[in-house]
Amino acid sequence: MKLFTFLLFFLLTATCAVAQQDAAYTPVLLTGPNSFKPLPANWKLVSEVFFNPLADGDPVLKNGTGVLVNIPAKNKKWNEGHLLTNMEHGDLDLDLDLMMAKGSNSGIYLQGRYEVRLSDSWGKQDPDYTDAGGIYKREANTEGAEGRPPAQNVSRAPGLWQHMQIVFRAPRFNAEGKKTENARLVKVIYNGVTIQENIELSGPTTGGIASDETAMAPLMFQGDHGQVALRNIRYRVPPANTEPVRRASAVVNPILVSPGVAPVVHRGFLNYNGKKLTAPVAVGYPQKVSYAYDLDKGRLLEVWRGDFLDATGMWYSRGEQQLAVALGSLIVLPGKPTLAFLPGKDSVWPDSNTAAYNYLGYDLLKDGSPVFKYQLGDAMIRETLTPDNSGKRFTHSISAEMAKEAKDLWFRVAEGSDIALQPGGLYAVNDKQYYIQLPEKVKPLIRKTAANTTEMLLPVTIKDQKGGVNYELVW
């Protein structure tokens, strides 16, 4: 009987999974204006764009195609300059990249009527319905969708590419044209985190193309508010069954870990790039930024913005999975050792420490931040990652002590598809996934790797038995 039950469950799960296999997405071509109704003058096709996260001003643009950028005129009028697709849709699964300017806001209007908010919400601790991923309030303040904030704020810095997926279910009408079911946001996923789920929309929101409701209408990108850039826009009709596949069991009350007024230092197993690590530590801060660090190898694994950890897999029942899961929006880093001794500037950075590595525990600073201690060869190392008060950046610092002078110790700052210096002094990493800010007058070594990636290194000069270096990770 048990075998039969298992087989039945397996077959039902497999059938549901097949039914939900991805249908092909249709790209919205950004090589010309043909995908849209007449392109308003405030929308421009370019190949690259950069908004400075630290200063107001016009974006830096590069001629070409592939990116749509909205630069509203100084004398812009309300409800003008919107971008509408030639494509009209009912049910829709929309997938795109977006980039916000400092202090900007915009919106995606499904069927030109129901707004999912776009906003520079970087670092905001308590988001409301006007923030990124929020559902804007209805035009008529009656029952139903009166504005709904995102479940958490996972917005990244202006000038970085962010990712959004929206699954929308259009309103239903009978043969006489009477509405029988309200529109619904099945899901909004922002930077990898579900921030809205199963939200009924009782009517259009403010600022759309019409106040009525219909079965088919164009997609609209708001053009009369702030600067925003879009790329990699694609869509499809979602599968008929958009409900999640049921599992054999579900935890009704997950066990969540959250920082209070001080950081939380959490030991537990972690899934990193498909491998279960047994000696990581996760550190979460009240500013709603966190990181994970591998004590076995002395390496920074990932950083994230948003909520801290789900420890259900460790503490529920027998803790069979033994895994803690990050709840916020992850940036997974290459995970190589922070420090290494290199014979020369062209020497390959090791995947693991070639010099003897010996973890020595950690101390706590006054604010509760850990200081990781280890020995690397003849060097005694102290390593810290601490956020600023706004939670917009981590300062990653190391100090080293050695009995002899050394010039062959290096600090690996970043690796990505590219590392490019931007106006204002920030380095954008991995196609504008995050920024690196270096101290004044510090010159990095930026070089290509054998894997055709780019990495940034800083020298750690040991003089009078001491040395140190730091940078800021901004995202």
Strand partners of residue 221: 83, 108
Residue 9 is assigned to a structural domain of this protein: no
pLDDT of residue 406: 79
pLDDT of residue 242: 55
Closest CA to 335 of 376, 304, 300: 300
pLDDT of residue 251: 57
Average per-residue pLDDT for the chain: 90
Mean pLDDT within 122-144: 83
Could you give the 3-state DSSP secondary structure of residue 9? helix
Task: Please count the residues of the chain.
Answer: 475
pLDDT tens-digit readout, 327-341:
999 999 999 999 999
One domain for residues 227 and 302: no
One domain for residues 173 and 206: yes
Could you give the 3-state DSSP secondary structure of residue 19? helix
Q: For the domain that residue 262 is a member of, what is the CATH number?
A: 2.70.98
Mean pLDDT within 220-242: 90
* Domain of 459, in residue numbers: 256-474
Residue 14 is assigned to a structural domain of this protein: no
Task: Name the DSSP class of 135.
Answer: B
pLDDT of residue 354: 73
Q: Lowest-pLDDT range, 14-28, 74-88, 374-388? A: 14-28
Residue 17 is assigned to a structural domain of this protein: no
Q: In which band, very low, low, confident or very high, does the pLDDT at 172 lie, cut at 50, 70 and 90?
A: very high
Q: In which band, very low, low, confident or very high, does the pLDDT at 19 lie, cut at 50, 70 and 90?
A: very low
Residue 119 has pLDDT above 80, yes or no: yes
Could you give the 3-state DSSP secondary structure of residue 157? coil
Q: In which band, very low, low, confident or very high, does the pLDDT at 352 lie, cut at 50, 70 and 90?
A: confident
One domain for residues 357 and 441: yes
Token pair in block for residue 154: 């996972």
Residue scoring higher pLDDT (318 or 279):
279
Distance, in Å, from the CA atom of 392 to the CA atom of 19, rounded to the nearest integer, reads 41
pLDDT of residue 228: 98
Residue scoring higher pLDDT (91 or 141):
91
Q: In which band, very low, low, confident or very high, does the pLDDT at 252 lie, cut at 50, 70 and 90?
A: low
The domain tally of the chain equals 2
With beta carbons less than 8 A apart as the criterion, state whether 197 and 186 touch. Answer: yes
Residue 241 is assigned to a structural domain of this protein: no
Residue 417 has pLDDT above 70, yes or no: yes
One domain for residues 51 and 145: yes
Amino acid identity of residue 132, one-letter, is A
One domain for residues 269 and 407: yes
Mean pLDDT within 280-304: 97
Pairing of strands 419-421, 329-332: unpaired
Q: Lowest-pLDDT range, 76-90, 226-240, 364-378? A: 76-90
Compute CA distances 75 → 71, 72, 105, 220, whole Å: 12, 8, 17, 21
One domain for residues 33 and 177: yes
Distance, in Å, from the CA atom of 458 to the CA atom of 210, rounded to the nearest integer, reads 56
pLDDT tens-digit readout, 35-80:
999 999 999 999 999 999 999 888 999 999 999 999 998 876 666 7
Three-state secondary structure string covering 225-241: CCCEEEEEEEEECCCCC
One domain for residues 196 and 344: no
Q: Which residue, of 187, 208, 236, is where some domain finishes?
A: 236
Residue 36 is assigned to a structural domain of this protein: yes
One domain for residues 351 and 442: yes
Q: In which band, very low, low, confident or very high, does the pLDDT at 238 lie, cut at 50, 70 and 90?
A: confident
Residue 16 is assigned to a structural domain of this protein: no
Could you give the 3-state DSSP secondary structure of residue 313? helix
Compute CA distances 273 → 251, 301, 335, 352, whole Å: 25, 10, 10, 16
One domain for residues 134 and 263: no
Residue scoring higher pLDDT (253 or 176):
176
pLDDT of residue 143: 45
Q: Lowest-pLDDT range, 183-197, 212-226, 310-324? A: 310-324
Residue 77 is assigned to a structural domain of this protein: yes
